[in-house]
Amino acid sequence: MYSRRVAAIKSVSVIGAGLMGSGIAQVAAQADYKVTMVDQTDAALQNGKNIIQKSIERVARKKFADDKDKQQAFINKALDNITLSTDSLAAAQSDLIVEAIVENIDVKQKLFAGLDKAASKDTIFASNTSSLPITAIASATTAERQTRFAGLHFFNPVPAMKLVEIIRTATLTDAVYQDLVDFSIKTGKTPVECKDTPGFIVNRLLVPYMMEAFRILDRGEASAKDIDTAMKLGAGMPMGPIELADFVGLDTTKFIVDGWAKEGRIEPALVQPSKTLEDLVAKGHLGRKSGKGFYDYSK
């Protein structure tokens, strides 16, 4: 009978060294887990390491405002916990594997099918997907692994956002669910539980809200700046919906909406396309990461 408890999770592998993967690796390393961060190339790993370096300096400055030695000791300790690898099977040695790679079901299934063969039977598998059903990804693994397979959905920027959604499939055991709760708390996050549904909780609410903001633009009813100002000052949001979409990535937002529309599991009115969004993505204006989205970040 499977009965892993939190003390048993000592090591974590994060597959994918992008913005989300490097953030997850960082918060796990700060919480003193031994972390292996895996990506396909050394360049991708170096990019992830650079993201972590900048972010962890910020965290350290905040944590130990007046003590440079303590800042440096905190940084060194966390960075020492991180090992880099271009071999995805290196991840198989960890107690918990969190995947944060491209949002493509075939690629994710192939990765997990390989890991399933290489990993110990006790290893917990998790995906940080924001748009694909966990059950479908997990179906590439054995029935036994599916009892240890969950969604673990972090938010951008991971070191600053305090939430983790734990996606509880019908096959996940209570013991593994509890291990993921404990892991989330140890990394400084507050976990919430959700069934394996489109968008889980946050994106289910956030994405239709952003889409309606784009449609206000489509209809010429208000400017981007005024929509953002309205939601920041009138509804207390830290960012307005348009700047948030640029922050998340317009391709990511479109990918989520298109996926939902295709699956047909969500109210059609909520996933009606926006012409402004379609045009920006077609031009490669993907938000902050490409220097331009709804707003211009090139200057």
Does position 52 bind ligand 3HC by CB under 6 A?
A: no
Minimum CB separation from ligand 3HC for residue 36, in Å?
A: 21
194-197 CB contacts, 8 Å cutoff, 24+ apart = 194/151, 194/165, 194/166, 194/167, 194/168, 195/167, 195/168, 195/169, 196/133, 196/134, 196/135, 196/151, 196/167, 196/168, 196/169, 196/170, 197/265
Kindly tell me which residue out of 114, 157, 191, 273 binds ligand 3HC, with binding defined by CB under 6 A: 157
- Residue at token pair 């549904």: 197
Does position 159 bind ligand 3HC by CB under 6 A?
A: yes
Q: Which of 81, 153, 274, 285 is catalytic?
A: 153
CA–CA gap between residue 253 and residue 284 (Å, rounded): 14
Does position 63 bind ligand 3HC by CB under 6 A?
A: no
Q: Kindly state the DSSP code that residue 286 receives in the 8-state scheme.
A: -
Return the range that interacts with ligand 3HC (CB under 6 A); candidates 5-13, 94-102, 244-252, 276-284. 244-252
Minimum CB separation from ligand 3HC for residue 33, in Å?
A: 18
Known binding residue 138? Answer is no
Kindly tell me which residue out of 30, 252, 274, 276 binds ligand 3HC, with binding defined by CB under 6 A: 252
Main-chain dihedrals φ then ψ at residue 119, nearest 5 degrees:
-85, 160
Instruction: Compute CA 181 distance to the chain's CA centroid, rounded to the nearest angstrom.
Output: 16
Minimum CB separation from ligand 3HC for residue 52, in Å?
A: 9
Can you give the binding site for ligand 3HC, defined by CB under 6 A?
Answer: 55, 58-59, 62, 130, 155-157, 159-161, 203, 206, 238-239, 244, 248, 252
